[in-house]
Homo-oligomer: A and B are copies of this chain.
């Protein structure tokens, strides 16, 4: 009862890592939207494994198929179902975890909650499920493009290597390197760090920053469904995320009101703010300035080292990662962050229509 997301632009994902397929049903996409399949595929390609030496070497092509809701290239207002078949279903790699709980994975909690689980590749808790979100997010992006909204995420930190503030960067350069950091020199050091971590048979965390430009004024709902609260929920729902902050974030607590307040001015007829500690959201509603936020990802739990654990019978044992895993999740998390942000914005775009 937790696989449906969104109020009006509603998605319902399904699928396990090693089942026949994963997919998503989008209910509420407005009719008449041109569905650019090449764009959807390109978004999936940004997320897929095997992209570079710093991601898992597992090969999955993540080819999607549209089953419904699109007619002659346009959305019809009916549910859009997309399916991605699982090609790489080698279950043999997972026999060692059928009964053993991997540390900091979802194995134990799923077992405790449900009493049964598809342990192959993490089953439903696998990050593979996020491919369905990326596909749905691509369609949300197509809707947002019609409204001129731009969403750009990038890797702003790996371990303790941090890029400068986004306002100093050229975000069009994000895709120029394999770590997806638009600052070339930081990118180089990040790649070297991840490579070293991989050689150490270890993993490391990082931060993805997301910037949303040209949001219309007025999106978001006050009280519980504040724009930033939904963004926060959407980001915290991504595997391995440990924190979310927007605008001034945790650093902002150190400031005084006189420093932190964003004064208004009249910019040739448009009301704008001189600074943007608010991160483009005030009272839960967009004010037209850049929306920006940071998402913290923990180090990947699967490491190529022996760790102590217990099995489902309570016996103490050890477990080690096998197969092909990411040493750092953030480069592939960039399109996922964008997709979830797009889903949030598309939903609020539709919700706002009901206040007019």
Contacts and interface: CB of A to CB of B under 8 A. Distances in A.
Interface of A is mostly: mixed
A75 B122 CA distance: 16
B246 A242 contact: yes
Range for the number of chain A residues in contact with chain B: 35 or more
A242 B294 CA distance: 11
A204 B257 contact: yes
How many copies of this chain sit in the oligomeric assembly? 4
Contact of A79 (B3, B110, B262): B3
Specify which of A14, A78, A118 lies most central, judged by the most chain B CB atoms within 10 Å of its CB.
A78
Interface of A: 1-5, 7-8, 10, 12-16, 19-23, 25, 27-28, 30-32, 65-69, 71, 74-81, 83, 101, 103-106, 108-110, 112-118, 123-125, 129, 157-160, 197, 200, 202-207, 217-218, 220-226, 228-230, 232-234, 236-237, 242-250, 252-266, 269, 271, 273-274, 277-279, 282-287, 294, 296-303, 305, 307-310, 314-316, 350-356
A106 B285 contact: yes
27 contacts: A4-B224, A8-B354, A19-B67, A20-B68, A23-B81, A31-B116, A67-B83, A104-B282, A106-B283, A109-B220, A112-B287, A159-B254, A205-B253, A205-B254, A224-B233, A224-B234, A226-B236, A229-B233, A232-B232, A233-B236, A242-B247, A243-B249, A257-B299, A260-B298, A271-B314, A274-B308, A353-B354
A301 B274 CA distance: 15
Contact of A30 (B65, B246, B355): B355
Contact of A310 (B243, B248, B265, B302): B265
Contact of A2 (B224, B254, B260): B224
A200 to B, nearest CB: 8
Contacts of A113: 77, 217-218, 285, 352, 355
Contact of A355 (B31, B158, B204, B254): B31
